[in-house]
Every structure is written in structure tokens, then in C-alpha cells.
Amino acid sequence: MLADRRDELAHRRVQTVNRLQRLLAELVPGKVKRDLSSFQAKAILATVRPRDIAGKTRRRMAVEQLADLVVVDKKLKKIKAELKADVLAHGSTLMEITGIGPAGAARILADVGDITRFADRNRFASWTGTAPIDASSGEQIRHRLSRAGNRRMNHVLHIAAIVQLRHDTPGRAYFLRKIAAGKTRMEALRCLKRRLSDVVYRHLVADATTTAGTTEPVLKASPGGHFGATLQSSAADSHPHVDTSDQPLPGPAQATLPATRPSRKTATQRTPAPDH
């Protein structure tokens, strides 16, 4: 519930900032930044002294939007502290991953639930919508981003990828290697999100192992006989530089048992009457 409330407040903040930016752009053209904070907006409004009625009305509306922004920021700050405390109380190490804060970690924990329901990292990537889909044509081998899966989880991983690209991280180095290898920026970003999905999976499995207080693998064998993650494969990595596959997942498995066919009634053979 806290994660949902935080998302609502964040959406409300974006709307408030957009309205405030439009008003300030009309009052002081060319001086409004894209990422506007309440402090910056207050400083801009302090220099505006319109004389006409339209200008005064815009300034008054801007002041009201600024007051709303201050209130939303206070609520977001408070709920962020609550989410951080809850994530730490849960024993999670997700916030160690660059680009995942209290809100992102809380969203992951809330949506994932029991990590043991995912047999391996590939199943987890399919659920997060980061498993690429084969879109090859002829000799041209391409993959596109899947639109399936949990879109909120996909958004968390997307934000984490963007944050890693803005800083000097192994994730950024991985992204640049993909660019140098001939991939487009979108393809390289898709690969980075796939790697981040694996990192999140490893953290969740490692945290579950620690919480369980055992050295045995957390995930049991699936009905197909494949094991999930072990302690060796679930070492916590803060950056997506671990060796994972960014290939698309295979299609649905073939049925293990043949389909049941309706039985056919056979005609009863009549015994010919004896000749007299």
C-alpha cells in the first residue's frame, strides 16, 4: 500500500510541476528548467512583478501550484523514509543496486512476493518483461523488447538502467560495449535491463537464503528437473557485470503426454449362418 501511495504522489508531483512550468514559461520565457524544484520555482517567482491583470493572475496561480508542490514533496519525503525502514526491516539488499532506491525496492518486494515461485532467472526475466523476443528477418538477427510481463517491475528496471547510464558504473561500461559491438542504443538498453533483472533476482534469492538461515539452496527442483538458483549463482552483485544470457527465451515446451483421442466404436462382426 505504501508503494502504491508513493506512486500516486509521484504522479501528482509530475502533474503539479508541469502546470507550474507552463505558468512560469509564460511569466519568464526561456528561464525555466526542465527538472524544476520547489526552491528554484520560488526563486524565479521572487523576480517576477507583472503589472497587467493576466500576468498577475498567472503569478497567483503559480504561487498556488508552488504551495501544492511543497506539500507533495513533504509527503514524498516522509513516505520515502517509511519505505526505506520497511525495506531494511525486511532484510533486503536491493538498495545496494545502483539506481534502485527505497521506492523501487519496495515495489519489487511487493510485486515479487515469494521469489521461490520463479524456477530460474530466465523465468524471472520473462515475468519482468526484460526477456527479449526474436525479431530476426532473413540473415538479419534482431531482438525487440517484450511488452509482456509486469510493467511496474519493468519500469523499476528501466529507471535503474537510466541511473546507471548517468554515472560511471559497470552497467554503463556494459552499455558502451554493446554500442561498440554494433547494437543500437535501444538494443543496448534492452541488454542492460536484462542484466539488471538477473542482478535483482540474485539479490532476492540471496536475501531469501539469509532470511531462511540455511546454507541450502532456496529453490527446489522444478517439475522438469531443473534447479533454480544456488548459493554459488546467487551472490549479490551491485552492478550488472555478471555473465548472463541476453538471448530470447525458447518457446513453449512440447506436451509431455499425447493428447487423449476419443475412442472409436468398432462395428461388431456377425458370424455367418451355417449352410443347411
What phi, psi does 275 have (nearest 5°)? -75, 135
**Whole-number pLDDT of residue 146:** 59
**Whole-number pLDDT of residue 94:** 94
Give the residue carrying C-alpha cell 555473465.
243
For 24, 177, 216, 224, the CA distances from 189, given in Å and listed in that order, are 34, 11, 35, 32
**Whole-number pLDDT of residue 139:** 56
**Whole-number pLDDT of residue 227:** 35
**Whole-number pLDDT of residue 172:** 94
Q: How far apart are alpha carbons 68 and 27 in whole angstroms? A: 19
| Amino acid, res. 272 | P
For 66, 124, 130, 161, 236, the CA distances from 196, given in Å and listed in that order, are 36, 11, 9, 7, 12
Kindly give the confidence (pLDDT) of every residue in the chain, 276 residues in length, as a single tens digit, with 9 standing for 90 and above.
888 888 899 999 999 999 999 999 899 887 777 778 889 889 888 888 988 999 999 999 999 999 999 999 999 999 999 999 999 999 999 999 999 999 999 999 999 999 999 999 999 999 998 887 655 555 555 555 556 678 899 999 999 999 999 999 999 999 999 999 999 999 899 999 999 999 999 999 999 988 776 444 443 433 333 333 333 333 334 444 444 444 444 443 333 334 444 444 444 444 455 554
Q: How far apart are alpha carbons 173 and 31 in whole angstroms? A: 35
What phi, psi does 237 have (nearest 5°)? -120, 125
**Which residues make beta-bridge pairs with 152?**
none
Q: How far apart are alpha carbons 195 and 155 in whole angstroms? A: 14
CA 82 vs. chain centroid, Å, equals 21
- Nearest C-alpha neighbor of 246 from the set 126, 100, 111: 126
**Which residues make beta-bridge pairs with 140?**
137
Q: How far apart are alpha carbons 162 and 51 in whole angstroms? A: 43
**Whole-number pLDDT of residue 165:** 95
Find out whether 38 and 69 touch, Cβ atoms under 8 Å.
yes
**Whole-number pLDDT of residue 33:** 75
